[in-house]
Amino acid sequence: MKIFGCGSEVIGNTPLIRLLNIEKEYNLKAKLFAKAEFFNPTGSAKDRAAKFMVDDAEERGIISKGATIIEPTSGNTGIGLAAYAVPKGYKVVIVMPDTMSAERITLMRAYGAEVVLTQGKLGMSGAIAKAEELKNETPNSFIPDQFGNPANAKAHYETTGPEIWYDTDGNVDVFVAGVGTGGTITGTGRFLKEMKPNTEIIAVEPANSAVLSGKSASSHGLQGIGAGFIPKVLDVNIIDKIETVEDNEAFEACRKLASLEGLLAGISSGAALVAAIKTAKLSENEGKNIVVLLPDSGSRYLSSGLF
């Protein structure tokens, strides 16, 4: 029997699930696998980044018990930081746009974080500016800066990538992931390409705010991806292809995933799944193994009308 000492010890090692019913529904000739990150303790991939960023700051002597951690986030990183850092003796202040789901705000507060909301129309840029303002006003404070912190990508290079490689016995041909901070696709993609250089890495972004594709930033409904700028953490050189997804496409994919596979995943997961299905339909991908990363649970979007 395996007994864990605390909740953070079960971060990672999330299951890789073959989406057989999705394959059948869309008559796919490729094999489609979901990296189900909502099996992490707080229900998202951001548990990995939160742990790595806090641990890295401690190891470098930047923070210690009693410090205040301030982070601008669309939600999931804030939840992960609160769950990991508050029990370690830190105060956590999360700054986020007021357009994010009510469940995210409630979860952050439940884990002990203070939540500061900024105008939704200002996007993540507004939240980042407010976080900097709070840091300047708060002694002994630290901003992990998920958009620029290498430890974010390192979390996925050292855990997510190796897990996918191990679970597929090295037989992964395509990796599909949405781009929020860029940490997940950078770390995972970098590892997979080091192991198998011809692995295709596909980035997913909102059609309404396709900045990676060279278009202007704009408001969109795909919470968790599409920050409106190109993050410092993102290594664009590992990306082979960019897929844009409409809001309604992502919402429908979430519903399909729930009804066909019994997996309740969030909006950005739906967006990634849309791109993965499009990729799996291509004749050149027949017989290939396509892994799509599903970042979080649909349970934190129930108030949005997603389902």
Angle in degrees, 0-180, between the axes of helices 247-261 and 267-281, rounded to the nearest 10:
90
Given the candidates 3.40.190.10, 3.20.20.70, 1.10.260.40, 3.40.50.1100, the CATH classification of the domain at 46-142 is 3.40.50.1100
The CATH number of 7-39+157-304 is: 3.40.50.1100
User: 85-96: buried (b, 16+ CB within 10 Å) or exposed (e) per residue?
Assistant: beeeebbbbbbb
**CA 98, CA 75: separation in Å to the nearest integer?**
10
Residue 108 CB contacts under 8 Å (≥ 6 apart), including other chains: 75, 78, 79, 82, 94, 115
- pLDDT (tens digit per residue) in 174-186: 999 999 999 999 9
Measured distance CA(47)–CA(155) in Å, rounded: 9
176 phi, psi to nearest 5 deg? -120, 130
Helix, strand, coil proportions of the chain in percent (round to 5)?
A: 45, 20, 35
Q: Judge whether 22 and 265 are in contact, CB under 8 Å.
A: no
User: Nearest-CA neighbor of 287 among 28, 9, 10, 43?
Assistant: 28
Q: What residues form DSSP beta bridges with 290?
A: 32, 174
Consecutive H or E run containing 116: strand 114-118
This prediction has a pTM of 0.95
Catalytically active residues are 46, 268
Contact 268, 180 (CB under 8 A): yes
How far the first Cα of the chain sits from its last, in Å, is 38
Question: Which of the 8 DSSP states describes residue 29?
Answer: S
Predicted confidence (pLDDT) per residue in 33-76, tens digit: 999 999 999 999 999 999 999 999 999 999 999 999 999 987 89
Pair of tokens at residue 127 = 């939240």
pLDDT of residue 60: 97
Instruction: Enter the tokens of residue 218.
Output: 């704009």
Q: Which residues of the chain have pLDDT under 70?
A: 1
The order of strands in the sheet holding 141-142 is 114-118, 91-97, 68-72, 141-142
Domain ranges of the chain: 7-39+157-304, 46-142
Does 46-142 match 7-39+157-304 at the fold level?
A: yes
